[in-house]
Structure 1
Amino acid sequence: MVAVVVSIAYGLGQGFRVPELLFGNVSLYLAIYSLGAWGRSRAASRLVRILIIIGMFLWLFLTIGFQFSNPEALAEFTDGASPEAAVAIALLSILLNLLFFGAAYVIGDRAWASARARAALEQRTRELAAEREHSAAQAVVLERVRIARELHDVVAHHVSVMGIQAGAARRVLDRDPAQAEEALTAIEQSARRAVEDLQNLLGTLRSDEPEDTPAPSTLGVDQLESLVSEVTGAGRAARFATVGTPRPVDGTVGNTLYRVAQEALTNSLKHAGPSAEIDVRLRYLDDAVEIEISDTGGRPVTRAAGAGLGQLGMRERVDAVGGTLEAGPRSRGGYLVRARIPAAA
């Protein structure tokens, strides 16, 4: 509406020969530009601008035709110049109007397109920010799921060791107080370690700033021997051996090997008999690192029931680093767990 009013006012000013031209030209240019740059309805904006431009050129052609048909008006228009000069002046006037209206139309459209592009970019930026927040929240959930799995491993192992030590202390309490005291000391140490591990893991779970918290576990292949020592301290026959030339392994791979060994030892303590021998071997192969835990089986003192989540957790851990897991009874008795992780993991 504003552009139409400005155009009519401009046309009336030209018709009544108002001497002021600069203000009218600027106002008409801004009206056409603003309609192109900010008009909400693009079809209506385009139509109104085209009609204004067509109307202005019709008025221009009528004016030029009237001047050329009237010698007195032509002389006034060209200040007495020759007919050739009058034609050149008319063509120059048409060219200037083409540039004037074309610039207002095109620059207005370009301003609209630029504003739309900025709006789309801002929208995309907001979407990316929301996606980053969602990804961060999802990462926290996944981290807490992983820590929950760590909790399972820690609790199961320490409780199994403490159960065996408590049973040993109960059997020798009357006839060998010194051995009973040693077993109770081992229970105390296992309980303290379990509480410390649980405090570290639960502290991470309670934190809302995962990037500022330390890793829930730094246990790796270097702690495998001490893990086996806990089993021997519980009164079970267990051996640890390293095969091949030791080399540094990634922290995630080392922690995976440790947790597989911990879960397998826990299962052996629960399901194998007290006379079972447990063998743990860490192999450094050319293209992989392998952990193998086997026991000779036997009848356990008490039947321990399980939900089968331990093996599932081991398999998920090994799969996460691109390895393979074998778990099952041995042909000559007992049970075998073997995890193999490629060197490129």
Structure 2
Amino acid sequence: MRTRIRREGDAAASPSPYGGGMPVVPFTRTPSIRDRRSDLVLAAIMFVGAILSAALSTISEIYGDTRAEPWTAIVYAAVITAPLAFRRRFPAPVAVVVCLAYFAAVSLQVPEIYVGNIAMFVSLYTVGAWMNNRRAATIVRIAIIVGMFVWLLISMYRTALEQADEADIAAGLLSPYVAFMLLQILLNALYFGGAYYFGDRSWNAAQAREVLEHRTAELEREREVTAAQAVALDRVRIARELHDVVAHHVSVMGVQAGAARLVIDQDPEKARGILAGIEGSARDAIHELRQLLETLRAPGGDTSEASSTVSLDDIADLVAASVEAGLPTDYAVIGDPVPVPSVVAVNLYRIAQESLTNARRHAGVGATADVRVRYDDAAVEVEVVNTGRTVAALRPGLGQLGMRERAAASGGTLDIAPRASGGLRVRARVPLPAAPVTMGDPA
């Protein structure tokens, strides 16, 4: 008999290799509610500062008689500072609006230049520090910087033409005018270079902090796993000791039962005493068995694993769950199913479960799996084969150790081997008990 189950599903396995490690996740920055409130406060403070700067600039006649009307400074203050309230959510649009407003204000000689300079620096810095699309962030900043220097050179050229009749303009490289223009170029280079540099530095610092937090969380999880493993190993050690005690009680019961059989006809009283000893040993053994089971249970008395009454037929449910989890899996039963001892069925079920779990975790994107249950005259076999990443060498872990212990506990063997084309093959084979011979059966 052969049955097959095939369900389609998209492979969504973790890209973590067999050697361990966390999947690489692109770093992104998202402003928190606190960050947004800080931006609102910054915009309000900058607006008040722009109004004060405009008033003082008007009084000091910073542009002389050619300055724009004072009311234009109020409009400019609102346009240059209001976008800063959204700078971390929309870095690029805010930078473009702020820079265009600044260029227009300087060209129209609006009596306010200091807060505008600060706002433009903040907006350029924010693009470098908070824009998740790094290529777009670079393009936006370079475009603004290039546009600024082109505008500066054009302004310098126009000013030179307008003042060409003045002697100090043509006084050579060391003239006051040329020195002033060179100073302007140097200051702007430091200004825009600083905004670019500190923005990138803030982004890199946030990225490094994110990596550190991930590593800290990973170390914390590993610490918890190590502690759980230590507790589990201690519980196993205690269970083994209890097992030895139970085995001792059973051995004593066997010896006492043999002695009682020998003396039951000659000395019934002595036989009754021996039987009473057997009864006490049986009670002690039952008590110790209960302690052993309590020790082997998960902490808290509950367990998240499936019931220990599972059978080989339940492997089909494992396959269905694997498909739903993103690993396309085939299932086949080969041969005529025969009754299998419950302990053997549970152990083979767990081996199949661990193999499929490892395949989902480590095989990689696009991997598939194939689960086969084979029955023959001498044994039952469970084989799990998965495609995926090529494994150069197996690294023994608790999962493999547990599967080998289950196979050995059932009197069988386990073979785990990498496949040349990628992935692993896990094959567990357990011999079946011979059928009892009855009268009439051939010897």
User: TM-score, with normalisation over the residues of structure 2?
Assistant: 0.41
Map of 1:29 onto structure 2? 121
Structure 1 residue 205 and structure 2 residue 296: aligned? yes
Structure 1 residue 17 and structure 2 residue 109: aligned? yes
Which segments of 5 or more consecutive residues in structure 1 lack a partner in the other structure?
Answer: 211-307, 313-345
Matched position secondary structure for 1:208: coil
Contact 2:121/2:191 (8 A) holds in 1: yes
Q: What is the number of residues matched between the two proteins? A: 211
Map of 1:159 onto structure 2? 250
Letter in 2 for 1:100: Y
- Report the CA distance shift for 1:143/1:73 in structure 2 as closer, same or farther (over 3 A): farther
Letter in 2 for 1:206: R
Deviations 1:24-72 (A, max 9, x none): 1111111111111111211111011011111111222222233334337
| Partner Cα distance (2:148, 2:291) in 1 | 80
- Give the C-alpha shift of residue 193 in structure 1: 4.1
Give the one of 107, 128, 131 matched to 2:219: 128
Contact 1:36/1:105 (8 A) holds in 2: yes
| Partner Cα distance (1:74, 1:123) in 2 | 65
- Report the CA distance shift for 1:91/1:63 in structure 2 as closer, same or farther (over 3 A): same
| Partner Cα distance (2:259, 2:285) in 1 | 20
Map of 2:349 onto structure 1? none
| Partner Cα distance (1:157, 1:198) in 2 | 12
| Partner Cα distance (1:109, 1:185) in 2 | 85
Contact 1:3/1:32 (8 A) holds in 2: yes
Structure 1 residue 57 and structure 2 residue 149: aligned? yes
Written as runs of structure 1 = structure 2, the 5 A alignment for 1:1-345 is: 1-71=93-163, 84-139=175-230, 142-143=233-234, 145-177=236-268, 179-180=270-271, 182-184=273-275, 186-206=277-297, 208=299
- Give the C-alpha shift of residue 75 in structure 1: 9.7
Contact 2:168/2:175 (8 A) holds in 1: no
Contact 1:68/1:74 (8 A) holds in 2: no
Deviations 1:201-222 (A, max 9, x none): 3332335169xxxxxxxxxxxx
- Report the CA distance shift for 1:209/1:75 in structure 2 as closer, same or farther (over 3 A): farther
Map of 2:337 onto structure 1? none
Q: Kindly name which structure, 1 or 2, has the bigger radius of gyration based on alpha carbons.
A: 1
121-130 or 103-112: bigger deviation: 121-130
Which segments of 5 or more consecutive residues in structure 2 lack a partner in the other structure?
Answer: 1-92, 302-407, 413-443
| Partner Cα distance (1:73, 1:36) in 2 | 44
Letter in 1 for 2:157: G
Deviations 1:305-341 (A, max 9, x none): xxx97x99xxxxxxxxxxxxxxxxxxxxxxxxxxxxx
Map of 1:297 onto structure 2? none
- Give the C-alpha shift of residue 140 in structure 1: 5.3
- Percent of pairs with identical residues: 51
| Partner Cα distance (1:62, 1:122) in 2 | 49
Matched position secondary structure for 1:55: helix
- Report the CA distance shift for 1:75/1:146 in structure 2 as closer, same or farther (over 3 A): farther
| Partner Cα distance (2:286, 2:160) in 1 | 105
| Partner Cα distance (2:130, 2:167) in 1 | 43
Contact 1:67/1:74 (8 A) holds in 2: no
RMSD: 3.7
Contact 2:243/2:292 (8 A) holds in 1: no
- Report the CA distance shift for 1:74/1:44 in structure 2 as closer, same or farther (over 3 A): farther
Contact 1:67/1:73 (8 A) holds in 2: no
- Give the C-alpha shift of residue 159 in structure 1: 0.7
- Report the CA distance shift for 1:47/1:73 in structure 2 as closer, same or farther (over 3 A): farther
| Partner Cα distance (2:168, 2:112) in 1 | 18
- Give the C-alpha shift of residue 194 in structure 1: 3.0
